[in-house]
Amino acid sequence: MRQARFKPTSILVGLAIAALLITLTLLASNPQGAHAGVAASPTSPTPTTTPSPTETASPVDTSVFLQVNAGQAEYSVTSDPTGVPTGSVQLNVTNHGAIAHEFVIMQTDNPPNALLYDDTTQKAVEDAPGQLDVGEVGGEPPFILPGQSNSGTFDLAPGRYVFLCNIPSHYKLGMYTSFTVGSVSPATNVPTATTSPTVAATQTPPVAPHPAVGPPAQSTVHAIAIFGGLGLVFAMMIACMTVLGFALRDA
């Protein structure tokens, strides 16, 4: 019987067709939209709640006692208490000194001992940016005479205040005290002594963060799989051709 022989050309064509089919299969397995991100699920709107109206507390009259020269120097004043909640404040001033005084209620965030001052009039500036005169007790001559008292009621908004005697030169002589309304921290005096200049600290420029290295893109992984499959196909082709060559030689 005559032995059938296979032509090498037919075998190569068959292997090429097999490689093409494998490549097309790998390409077809590429998921659609590999570069697209996963669509985020729509989030339901957060329900908003309307806050219930709060009741406004009625103003409370709070008595504040200012004592002039209360066992101290002539140009001194003490306040009891040094702060009150928001509301109507009754200011009671008693002059225990030897000369007349007045009191100005000034709303300001400036330090009590560093208010804007007019050297010409020798008075603190009562109406200036950051300094507002909101009321006075005994502000007209003859002011509050020694041994006398005077009072006034004021609606003070939350904030920092300075009570001061603004008769010329009295403020500079130390006749002031700080006062607060509401939940604010009291003002503090600035140091009167000369301080040494400070050297600003050298700032180190911020270092840019390194970009985070994530996993390789899905398309890159797929390309590696395709090329690996093609390499495997070609290796199989070479192996088959080698075996076929030995078989033809022995036939």
Q: What is the pLDDT of residues 175-203, one digit of tens each?
A: 999 999 998 888 888 886 533 343 444 45
The rounded mean pLDDT for the chain is: 74
Those residues whose C-beta lies under 8 Å from the C-beta of residue 93, and which sit 6 or more positions away, are: 66, 68, 103, 137, 138, 144, 149, 150, 151
> Which stretch, 25-29, 52-56, 137-141, 222-226, has highest mean pLDDT?
137-141
Is residue 228, in this structure, part of any structural domain at all? yes
Between 172 and 86, where is the model more confident?
172
Is residue 236, in this structure, part of any structural domain at all? yes
Q: What is the pLDDT of residues 4-23, one digit of tens each?
A: 454 555 555 566 666 666 66
Is residue 25, in this structure, part of any structural domain at all? no
Regarding whether 234 and 142 lie in a shared domain, the answer is no
**Residue 230 pLDDT > 90, yes or no?**
no
Question: What CATH number is given to the structural domain containing 84?
Answer: 2.60.40.420
Structural domain count of the chain? 2
Please give the structure tokens belonging to residue 62: 């709070």
Residue 170's pLDDT band, with cuts at 50, 70 and 90, is very high
Range of the domain at 165: 62-181
Regarding whether 229 and 170 lie in a shared domain, the answer is no
Regarding whether 76 and 152 lie in a shared domain, the answer is yes
Q: What is the pLDDT of residues 89-137, one digit of tens each?
A: 999 999 988 899 999 999 999 999 999 999 999 999 998 889 999 999 9
Please give the structure tokens belonging to residue 213: 């290295």
At 211 the pLDDT is 60
Spatial distance between the Cα atoms of 37 and 50, rounded to a whole number of angstroms? 37
Q: Please identify, among 181, 203, 231, the residue that sits at the C-terminal boundary of a domain.
A: 181
Q: What is the pTM of this model?
A: 0.52
**Residue 235 pLDDT > 60, yes or no?**
yes
Q: Please identify, among 131, 158, 181, the residue that sits at the C-terminal boundary of a domain.
A: 181
Regarding whether 153 and 69 lie in a shared domain, the answer is yes
Is residue 171, in this structure, part of any structural domain at all? yes
Regarding whether 223 and 141 lie in a shared domain, the answer is no
At 53 the pLDDT is 46
Is residue 233, in this structure, part of any structural domain at all? yes
Average of per-residue pLDDT across 233-239 = 70
